[in-house]
Amino acid sequence: MHTLAFTWPGLLAGLVIAARANAIVLIITTLLTTMEAADLARALRSLRVPPALVTLFLLTGRYVFVLQTEYQRLRRAMWMRAFQPRTNRHTLRAFGNLVGMLVVKGFDRSERVYQAMKCRGYTGVFPAREPAQWALRDAMFACGTATFVLVMLWANTL
């Protein structure tokens, strides 16, 4: 049997990993939350990401919030019926039903959205806007991000 041992170098390595993971999440969040979905799609297309993946990403980004709202509605309905989660078969069945209802409602909604998109002339690819032009603020952001990455790499060598 292996036992886990606490060491200061291990703790420091764990802290570095946690700092890097948080930095990556913050950078990605900053990039994605300040960008419109159409701009993100255009950027992904210019990086030669397959069109089906770009479409899937855009629709997922839109409908995650719809599913979250539906989940909250179903949970509120459970709460109104005095449901108290416990560690028993009833709770597992209730949560199984909740997940099943989300899947069924999500499937039904996806069918309705697809039919509505076909009625509006959707051909499988969202229309692309004209390519964006490189601006000074883009260069400044790229330099700042590169500097940050280099500092993180340098911190790893310490």
Virtual CA dihedral for 55, 60, 137, 49, nearest 10 degrees? -40
> Which pair of structure tokens corresponds to residue 60?
């997922």
pLDDT in tens, 95-146: 999 999 999 988 998 899 889 988 988 887 776 666 667 789 888 988 998 8
Do 69 and 115 lie in a common domain?
yes
Give the domain extent around 42. Answer: 7-49+134-158
What domain count does the chain have?
2
Tell me the whole-structure pTM to 2 decimals: 0.54
Do 55 and 34 lie in a common domain?
no
Query: Is residue 2, in this structure, part of any structural domain at all?
Result: no
Query: Is residue 157, in this structure, part of any structural domain at all?
Result: yes
pLDDT in tens, 50-82: 888 888 888 887 788 888 899 999 999 999 999
Long-range contacts of 134-139 (CB under 8 A, 24+ apart): none
Do 102 and 152 lie in a common domain?
no
List Cβ neighbours of 91 (8 Å cut-off, separation of 6 or more). 85
